Structure 1
Amino acid sequence: MKLAGLKSVENAHDESVWATAWVPATEARPALLLTGSLDETVKLWRPDELALERTNAGHFLGVVSVAAHPSGVIAASASIDSFVRVFDVDTNATIATLEAPPSEVWQMQFDPKGTTLAVAGGGSASIKLWDTATWDLIATLSVPRPEQPKPSDKGNKKFVLSVAWSPDGKRLACGSMDGTISIFDVARSKFLHHLEGHFMPVRSLVYSPVEPRLLFSASDDAHVHMYDAEGKSLVGSMSGHASWVLSVDVSPDGAAIATGSSDRTVRLWDLSTRAAVQTMSNHSDQVWGVAFRPMAGAGVRGGGRLASVSDDKSISLYDYS
């Protein structure tokens, strides 16, 4: 497995680019790349040439997270202004505006069926679930404190940064500032257990599309962890980055993960050996987001793609094979 650099766009935004996600293809158009920046805009890019399709304004502070609905028709952006804006991908029409108290919006993700949007609730130490049919708030999942407080357990360490759905939509994982990962049973709105092992903020989480129990986490402790999220066990730990690991995503074939770090690199890891097989140094500043393009449907052209975004205002696109 390897990455090959395809294209980079310098000054893709006016400020740091903190978020990226792929919008699935529809019958009318191919997949698009979505990016969000501290310049308060969201941009949509045609993926093969990284040509700008359109720019969405509407936030009053920096955009910290973007998410695409599995249908490819709508997407959402979350900002430090404490609003989530849901919009039509092709027309940019606002579908809904979801409001949360200040600093209560961080990462977010639609569930695999597209019926629910989960939003990491920042200082509220919770995940908020929104019904995508009505845009009503349907549940608030509160993160309990671990039984054994950590030495650093001062102040609001339960700030929730990251969120991830299991492939079947039955479980929700969230990562917190203190390094704990919480697992919830969504149907019962019930906290199940914590996953231990990190001692610094967990900024990114992703489940394997192939092994639904397998959860990957990226942390400021410079480690990437692989957990059996149901068995509560740490399966493996991968190290190699020289600084914070800010983002992790798993390849559609489940064979590799990519990570972005404040050491300015993107790494590709072979999960069979749990070793980094490649380091890409396209960026000149922190890499805040990495995202694999979902598998193309039957008869749809397009190989594997990985995108990365950075504090250096650029986007890079790689071929994954």
Structure 2
Amino acid sequence: MKLTSPTIVQNAHDDSIWTATWVPATDDSPPLLLTGSLDETVRLWDPDSEKCLQTNTGHCLGVVSVAAHPSGRMAASASIDSFIRVFDVVTNNTISTLEAAPSEVWQLQFNPEGTILAAAGGSSASVKLFDTAQWKTVATLSIPHPESSNPSEKSGSKKFVLSIAWSPEGRHLACGSMDGTISVFDVTRAKFLHHLEGHCMPVRSLVYSPAPLDSRVLFSASDDGHVHVYDAEGKALITTMSGHSSWVLSLDASPDGAAIATGSSDRTVRLWDLKMRAATQILSNHTDLVWAVAFGQPLRRDVRSCLLASVSDDKSIAFYQYS
């Protein structure tokens, strides 16, 4: 497995790019990349032409998260302006605007069925679930403190929720907190199941393995510089992978389940072979913090390959081919 040398889109935004996600292909459109920036815009990109197809100016402060619906027809963006905007990908028209208290939404993700949008709730120490039919709150999953916590540590700021990930079948939801813990919920019963421990600093990014045989495997990225691999149902830490020299800000799993990519404040993107449990490539094409990495769908012209995108504080987007 490898990543090709990237194609770089310089000055893709007017300020730092903090978030990126792929919009799935539809009958009318190939996979497209959605990015959000501190310049207050969300932009849609065609990776083939490297052109911006449209710019969404619906927010009045920096955009911290974008999420694409599985249908490829709509998407959502969250901003530090305290609003989540749901919009039509093709027309850019607003479908719904959801309000949240300041600093209450740091990551968004639709469930695999597209029926629920989850929002990591920041200092509320919770994850809010919105139905995608009426755009109403259907549940609030509150993060309990680990039994091992000291009373002096039981403050709301310690449980600030930064990251979320749906399991492949959509039954479980994992969320990462500022204190380094990961909480796992059974969404169908709106029930907290258990904590996963091992990190000692904020958990910035989470993703489940897409491989059918490994669907209970959860990957986490943390400011402690480590990537952890968990059995999310058995509550076991399988292994730890290290190599970045600073915070690991983002990670994503390849569609074939054989690799993960990570982005870091050390300005590198790394490709990790999960059988070797080691980084096989280190790419230093960005000149500042790498806030997001995202694998796309397998390419129609080569189903064994896909695109990986990375975005950075340097305002650029990098497109790599993974095979």
Which bracket does the TM-score occupy, shorter chain normalised?
Answer: over 0.9
> Residue 57 and residue 188 in structure 1: after superposition, are their counterparts in 2 closer, same or farther (change >3 A)?
same
Corresponding residue for residue 314 of structure 2: 312
- Secondary structure at 1:291 match in 2: strand
Corresponding residue for residue 189 of structure 1: 190
> Residue 301 and residue 198 in structure 1: after superposition, are their counterparts in 2 closer, same or farther (change >3 A)?
closer
Runs of 5+ consecutive residues of structure 2 not aligned to the other structure: none
Corresponding residue for residue 25 of structure 2: 25
Please tell me the root mean square deviation across aligned C-alpha atoms, in Å: 1.4
Confirm or deny: 8 A CA contact 1:7 1:49 kept in the other structure.
Answer: no
- Secondary structure at 2:280 match in 1: strand
* Aligned mates of 2:275, 2:36 — CA distance in 1: 33
* Aligned mates of 2:321, 2:297 — CA distance in 1: 13
Corresponding residue for residue 227 of structure 2: 224
Corresponding residue for residue 40 of structure 2: 40
Do residues 250 (structure 1) and 253 (structure 2) align? yes
* Aligned mates of 2:229, 2:152 — CA distance in 1: 23
Report the residue type matching 1:153 in the other structure: E
Shift of 1:49: 2.8
Shift of 1:60: 0.9
> Residue 303 and residue 309 in structure 1: after superposition, are their counterparts in 2 closer, same or farther (change >3 A)?
same
Shift of 1:51: 1.0
In the alignment, which of 251, 260, 273 is matched to residue 270 of structure 1? 273
* Aligned mates of 1:223, 1:114 — CA distance in 2: 31
TM-score (norm 1): 0.97
Higher percent of residues as helix:
2
The more displaced of 116-125 and 49-58 is 49-58
Shift of 1:152: 8.4
Shift of 1:82: 1.1
* Aligned mates of 1:152, 1:286 — CA distance in 2: 33
Provide Cα deviations, 1:42-73, integer angstroms capped at 9, x if missing partner: 00000123211110001011000000000000
Shift of 1:99: 0.5
Counterpart mapping for 1:72-221 below 5 A: 72-149=72-149, 153=153, 155=155, 156-210=157-211, 211-221=214-224
* Aligned mates of 1:22, 1:191 — CA distance in 2: 29
Confirm or deny: 8 A CA contact 2:145 2:154 kept in the other structure.
Answer: no
| Aligned pairs, number | 320
Report the residue type matching 1:163 in the other structure: I
In the alignment, which of 267, 289, 292 is matched to residue 289 of structure 1? 292
Provide Cα deviations, 1:182-225, integer angstroms capped at 9, x if missing partner: 00000000000000000100000000011110000000000000
* Aligned mates of 1:300, 1:185 — CA distance in 2: 36
